[in-house]
Structure formats: C-alpha cells, structure tokens
Chain A
Amino acid sequence: MDLASSSSASPVAVTAGRLRLKPGLQSAPRWAAPRWPPTVSAGSWPDQVSADWAYGGADGAGVRVCVLDTGVDGDHPIVGGVQAAMQVTADAAGELRVVPGEATDLAGHGTACAGVIRTVAPGCWLASVQVLTKGTQGMGDVLLAGLRWAVDEGYDVINLSLSTTKLALRNELAGLCDSAYFRHCVVCASAHNAPVLSFPWRFASVVSVASITPPRADGAAPVQHYYNPKPPVEFFAPGVGVRVAWRNGTMIKATGNSFATPYIAGLCALIMSKHPELTPFEVKTLLYHTAANVKRVAAVNGDDNDR
C-alpha cells in the first residue's frame, strides 16, 4: 500500500518494504529517517552468526553493568570489587535519592548476582545500587528511583533480579524500561518464579530470563542459554543449583530465576564489549542466534562446528 497519497500526517511512506518520503516533503523529522538507507551499525554481520563471532574472546571490558539489588559485597573474591556502590535512601523530606554508599550487602542476594556477572564478564565495569532499604519505604518506589538513576547515568546493562506486583507502578516502570531501550541500555529482568502478574520482566523492551533445570546426567547446570519461543519469558539460563557468592566471603548453592538473570546480563556485557555499536534489539537478536536450542541451517545440515 502506498501511503504517500493517503491523508495520514506521517511524512514517511512505506512501499513494498522500502522507506521513502512523501512527495513534496523536503526533509523528515529526526525520528523518521534522516537519511536513507540508515546506517546499520552491525552491517558487517556474517551470514552465519556464531557464539564465537558474538562474544568469543571478549571479557566485558568497556561495558558498564549496574546491579539493582540488596547491595554487593565488594570484598568477596568472586566479585573482585565494585567500581561504584550506591544506595537509595529517603532524605528528611521523604524524597528518595541515590547516594554513594558502602559496598556491602544486607542479605547476600546482590553479591550472588554480581558474582555471576563477574564470572561471565570478568572485565566489565560493575556498579551496585542497593534498593533494599531500611524502614517502611516500599520496594516499588525505591526500585523506580534506582532504575531511573541507572538509566540516566547511561549504564550499558542493568540487572534486575527482582520484580514488583504493584499495578500502580506499571506505567512508570514501562516508561523507564523504554527509555533504557532507546538509550542503548539492555535491561535484564528476572521472570517471576510463580505465575503472577509482575513487572518489569513482562515488558518487551527488556530481556526476560528464567531458570532451567540441569539436563545433564551429573546434575551440573549447563553453561549455556536457551531461547523460549513462547514469551513473555524469552530466555532460560543456569539458575538451578548454581554455586554463587554470598555474604561474608562464602559460597552457597542457590536456585531461582534471580540467579539465571545475571548470567544473561554477563553475556550481554560480553556481546557489547565486542560489538559496542549494537542496539538492545541487536543484542537480543544475538542472544537468540547463540541460544543452545536455536539451530542454524549449517548446523541442521551437520557441518557446523562453531557454536
């Protein structure tokens, strides 16, 4: 359909998959198509995308990852220090602010997430925002404040191993996740462990993650991820019986979607480290192409040795 002759106010017409300006329009607004064809940053993608091409040899260097959680024990040997430790606190007027804090963990959960990310992407720049606050402040408002700060600070990857069931926060949370998406920030969010309506993992703008049960005979968690063709959960990753860092320098075995999410966040850091120009859409596409259950034509034909 040629929209150029329609009464639509849109300056952009789509014809047979091609983009062109309406007749008579000298220029298009920036959000439309300032030049044609637009420069595709990942235009050099190979015909066959492999894990090696996506993140082989990368260590996450140059990528800033932010963990919104209980705080992170920066002294834990698995974590190996954090480059920034922030916390959400309420000032005297009750206004929530994100201020520098100590690299400590109130429960251990944030240290576990940070440890997984550091294990997958040891070279990344890691920051902690403690959103488990003392007192009566609800998690929802604190989460919003922490997420807003991380998006405004321009982090490349944000790990959210948490969710909220508060419907009143849905729109604001969705707006923040959309802002992150358009700013080239990948938000990795844990799916809820129970079948309840919660956010932000259900938003299309984030990478939603759940756990997989180890399929290997020895019970060890597979170190790979899987694509889920039936969203809203998009990816499965190791999160069952995984050994994670915890408080006081200890290691424990833990199960939950919380621990699968930082694995994917770490993978995103590797991808963005090797291909810093990629958009969140392209990063998610690479996660899909490198998933263990996505077979490429070459693999199906039995001549693929490069996953």
Chain B
Amino acid sequence: MTADRALLQPAVDTARAVFGAAASSAIVVGEDGGVLVFAAVAGAIAGSLVGRHMPAETGVAGWVLRSGESLRLDDLAGGDIFGGAAECGGYLPRTLMAAPLLCNDCCVGVLEVLDWTEGSRGELADLGLLGLIAEQAAAAWTLTHRTSVLDRHPDPKVVELRARIGHALSGVSGAELDRRIAVFRSLADMLCG
C-alpha cells in the first residue's frame, strides 16, 4: 500500500460508512499538477482504480479542486451529465458530494462520496460533515507531504545549515560531542519555541 493510500484510505472508509454510501474516493493532484490520481477508493468503484490518472480538469473533482468549494449534486439520474464518469471509474452515480482537501493555502485533492443512503442531517449539514472528514485527511496528508517535499526539494538554506552542523559535529566524540549537541538543541529551542 502506498503512503498516500495508507493516509487517505481511513478517510474514504469513514466517509463511506458515515453516509452509507455506495462508494467513496480520495483523488489527489499528481506530481506535475496536470493530472488527478485516485489515491484511495472504497465500495462500488474500488476495483483497480487506485493509481489511475485523469486530466486535472475532469468533472466535478476538477472543479472542486480548482474552486476550493464543496458541493452536493442530487438527481443525476445515473447519467454522465457532469462529464466526469472517469472520476467515478465508470460508475454512474445518482448522487455525488465532493469536498476539497485543503493543505495550507492550496487544494491538493478532493474527497467524494457517491450514492449515499444516510442523508437525514440535511444538505448543508452533510456537506459540513464531509468537509470535516476532508479536513482531517488533509491535515494528515499535509504533515506527511511537508516532510517528503522538504526531502525532495530542500531549501538551500536548510541544506547549508545541515552541512555546517555536520561539519561542527564531525571529528568530535564523547563529552565534547554531547556538549555541542546540547548547544544546538538549545539553539533550536530558542529559534523554534
């Protein structure tokens, strides 16, 4: 299981269970920003969808991704009227609800539920609840990806700082090494609170 799937599968499973939905999916932006990728799916569309790509502007997911606004659609009558059959893996839902995965100040993906049966909270309350699940998933995604992004694209200043610290600690051992590490920790505490 990929890291993204491991992170987002609980959110997808939770959304499907809470709404009694036929299916649920978490779709995230691909590396180059031009595609959407199924990161986790559950229910009727599970199959082999995970990892499948589609253009970033596809269907409701594409709009929610760009606009950052959640929405709920009813009475779709099972037709591909939003040009997004691909986002449902060929499954044609009667109802669809989508919320953005907001990471800091950008939208990194979309959480969707299809054909729910538990809708007694009211339309706006349902949207709000899905938004909360999406918020939780986005928070986890953010924490993980902040680390991995920094590893892939480290800030030059961080690289230089790491090198200097490494240089300062090289060739020393014992009590002197402990003393220098303690100095760096104090410095980090002072700078980062």
Contact = CB atoms under 8 A, between A and B. Distances in A.
A243 to B, nearest CB: 8
Interface in B82-129: 82-84, 99-100, 102, 105-107, 122-124, 127-128
Interface stretch (B17-25, B68-76, B144-152, B184-192): B68-76
A162 interface: yes
Assign chain A's interface to a size class.
35 or more
A63 B183 CA distance: 69
A163 B128 contact: no
A7 B102 CA distance: 50
B124 A211 contact: yes
Interface string A262-293: 00000000000000000000000000000000
Interface in B40-87: 55-57, 59-60, 62-63, 65-77, 79, 81-84
B123 A240 contact: yes
B74 A241 contact: yes
A136 B33 contact: yes
Nearest to A164: B68
Contacts of A1: none
Contact of B83 (A163, A197, A198, A247): A247
Interface stretch (A28-36, A46-54, A186-194, A226-234): A186-194
Nearest to A239: B124
A163 B32 contact: no
Contacts of B79: 248, 250
Contacts of A251: 75
Nearest to B29: A136
B13 interface: no
Given A70-B63, A106-B62, A134 B55 contact: yes
Interface string B3-40: 00000000000000000000000000000111000000
A193 B33 CA distance: 24
A58 interface: no
B105 A255 contact: no
Interface of B: 32-34, 55-57, 59-60, 62-63, 65-77, 79, 81-84, 99-100, 102, 105-107, 122-124, 127-128, 131, 135
Given A142-B66, A254-B71, 10 more contacts: A139-B65, A165-B105, A166-B105, A192-B68, A194-B70, A213-B124, A252-B73, A252-B75, A253-B74, A258-B71
Interchain residue pairs A-B with the least CB separation, the first 5: A256-B71, A162-B67, A139-B66, A253-B74, A136-B33
